[in-house]
Structure 1
Amino acid sequence: MDDMTATFLRGAPHVLGVVQIFIGLLCLLFSLTAVFSPVLILHAPLCASATFVVSGSLAVAAARRTSVGLVCACLAWNVLSVVIGLGGVAYLCWLLCDRPPSQRICDTHSFSGRCYEELRGLDVSVYGVLGALLVLLVLQVCVVVTVCVFSCRALARRHSSAPIMVEVGDRGALLYGSDVSLLGSEGEEASTLPAKSP
């Protein structure tokens, strides 16, 4: 395994990619609520979370078969996912601070004062889901930043190679960068090394 692959796999991109795909699918399903009512059209922008599914899929693919091209594509899509995730967090905060759905429905159709009381369950259910999505989007941003960090580290190490390790004798001592045992010489250089010298 080369150094780039080892560095990239140290961040567990397979697991993080699956988390990204799961969060992206949940956000996509929630954005489909905009189809059912004009009041819920504010949930439609959450369909931009399709980028989470793509970036998660690329992270899983790069974990299975690590190459420079896949790691670069993974990094590019994850940077885009960071921007969309931060925008989604800001948008959900705005939705939570805006008027409740019951007030929008009651003001639009000019219903009586009992309208707010009857639709209080709608407010609770919509705000509960919005709060859960806010937590998931914050988790998404943390996951995507982690994948970006390990992708950058892996790309920085793509030209470096791991040190050569040579086992000498029966003692199991490893010598780094030494060619004494490779040449088979038993001269003074080999005899002056301590028994378990790295």
Structure 2
Amino acid sequence: MQSHAGTLQAETAQDDTTNLPENESITQLRHLGTWVLPSQWQKSLLLFLKGQPQVLGAAQILIGLLTLCLGVTISPFSPYDYGHRCCMITNTGYHVWGSFSFLVSGALSVAAGRKVTKCLIQGSLGMNTVSAIVAGFGTSLIILEELVMYGNRIWRSSRGSLFIGMLTGMLFLSLAEGCIALFLSIFACRVACSVNKVVVFLPNNNNSPSVVSPEHVYDEVAF
């Protein structure tokens, strides 16, 4: 009997839609005191988790550490030993701030995969977007560096081959980071932009006691 009454009450519920200033999206069943995620949010969330943000975030952290190690190894090499004025990788500090960006985006991706909250997903989206841009800049910088060095006779030495080999390693790491960051940004954007409003279900108060007006009392009047 109680289940039938609860079903009847849920069927007669009214839908009120309220826009939030932060464009958040949650569905609340007020009479049940529970929060229900819309189906579009659930699908986007499952799609984000299928993207393995924890695994890819760990890969980003590893890429950041390897990029930092290769950059520190390249730094002691004197640019003038190879026939050009400067080494663009070390002078721009790409191996430092690029690695920092990769580490932060990887940490946020792992955190968003473990504890799914809107704040972490938006943070992962922002940092992965930045990391994708940084990786693209670093890739272009390394390619330009190798093009400047290409054909130089000094590269025929063992030391020169080692230097260009480390640059090529940084190139592949930057390409991998760019692909991972772009991949995670797309999935996080689908989750963050899936729903833009809150739907609140307000039940009809059919079971509330009605107010009955008191009966009129008439006094007998003698004529």
Instruction: Give the TM-score, by structure 1 length.
Output: 0.66
Question: Given the alignment of the two structures, is residue 93 of structure 1 paired with residue 143 of structure 2, yes or no?
Answer: yes
Greater RCO (Cα-Cα under 8 Å, separation 6 or more)? 2
Which residues of structure 1 form unaligned runs of 5+?
104-115, 162-198
1:34–1:41: 8 Å Cα contact kept in structure 2? no
Q: Does 1:145 align with 2:179?
A: no
Q: Which residue of 1 aligns with 2:161?
A: 124
For residues 132-171 of structure 1, the aligned pairs below 5 Å read: 132-157=169-194
Structure 2 alignment gaps of length 5 or more? 1-35, 80-85, 199-223
Cα drift, residue 51 of structure 1: 0.2
1:43 paired to 2:89: yes
- Check the 8 A contact 1:13/1:59 in 2, yes or no: yes
Which of 20, 23, 29 matches 2:60? 20
- The Cα RMSD (Å) is 2.6
Q: Does the 8 Å CA contact 2:88/2:141 hold for their aligned counterparts?
A: no
Give the TM-score of the pair, scaled to structure 2: 0.59
Specify the alignment match of 2:127 in structure 1.
77
Q: Is the 8 A contact 1:30 1:43 kept in 2?
A: no
- Measured against aligned partners, the alpha-carbon deviations of 1:136-161 in whole angstroms (never above 9, x if no partner) come to 21111111111001101111335699
Percent identity for Structure 1 against Structure 2 = 25
TM-aligned CA distance change 1:28 to 1:13, over 3 Å: same
The structure that has the greater radius of gyration is 2
Partner of 1:195: none
* 8 Å Cα contact 2:87-2:145 kept in structure 1: no
Q: May I ask how many residue pairs the two structures share in their alignment?
A: 147
The separation in 1 between residues aligned to 2:170 and 2:157, in whole angstroms, is: 20
Following superposition, the deviation at residue 133 of structure 1 comes to 1.7
- Residue 9 in structure 1 maps to residue 52 in structure 2: no
- Which amino acid in 2 is paired with 1:15? V
2:108 to 45, 58, 74: 58
Residue-by-residue CA offset, 1:46-98 (whole Å, 9 max, x unaligned): 21221001000000000000100000010010111011000000000011112
After superposition, the C-alpha distances for 1:97-146 in whole angstroms (9 at most, x for unaligned) are 1237x87xxxxxxxxxxxx49x7111111111211221221111111111
